Amino acid sequence: MEAKAQARYVRVTPRKARRVIDIIRGKRAVEALDVLRYAPQGAAQPIYKLVESAIANARYTAGDDFNEDELFITEAFVNEGPTMKRIQPRAQGRANRILKRTSHITVIVGDEVTTSKKRRNS
């Protein structure tokens, strides 16, 4: 049994989100929530909500024979979303470009943990 949750257009850079995702990949879902609850990174909060959503999706699809303690994070990856381009005024009429990056984060929970730690980057 697998359940999936996605968060799109999250205002966190993909590089910083991948640091947090790499910590929880392969762990039990309940243990991952504990790790994310106290993680100092800013990307931990949206990923925490995403793991909670994946657990809720698993609860919905499994029905009566659901046990939250048996769920593992089988797959978790971060893809780059669209980048918002902004301008910052500088001295002598110049301007610098600011890139506000977004992420598409996907978490898949399942019964058994996979041995390979493949990551999808596109």
Which CATH number characterizes residue 15's domain? 3.90.470.10
Residue 121 lies in a domain: no
Give yes or no for residue 115 having a pLDDT over 50: no
Residue 64 lies in a domain: yes
Residue 29 lies in a domain: yes
Residue 99 lies in a domain: yes
Residue 59 lies in a domain: yes
- DSSP per residue over 17-54, as a string? HHHHHHHHTTSBHHHHHHHHHT--STTHHHHHHHHHHH
Residue 118 lies in a domain: no
74: left (phi over 0), alpha (psi -120 to 50) or beta: alpha
Q: pLDDT digits over 50-79, tens only?
A: 999 999 999 999 877 888 889 999 999 999
Tell me the pairing of strands 103-110 and 72-80: antiparallel
- How many domains would you assign to the chain? 1
DSSP 8-state secondary structure symbol assigned to residue 92: G
Cβ–Cβ under 8 Å, residues 94 and 104: no
Helices first, then strands: H and E counts in the chain: 3, 5
Q: 36: domain range?
A: 2-110
| Full-model pTM | 0.86
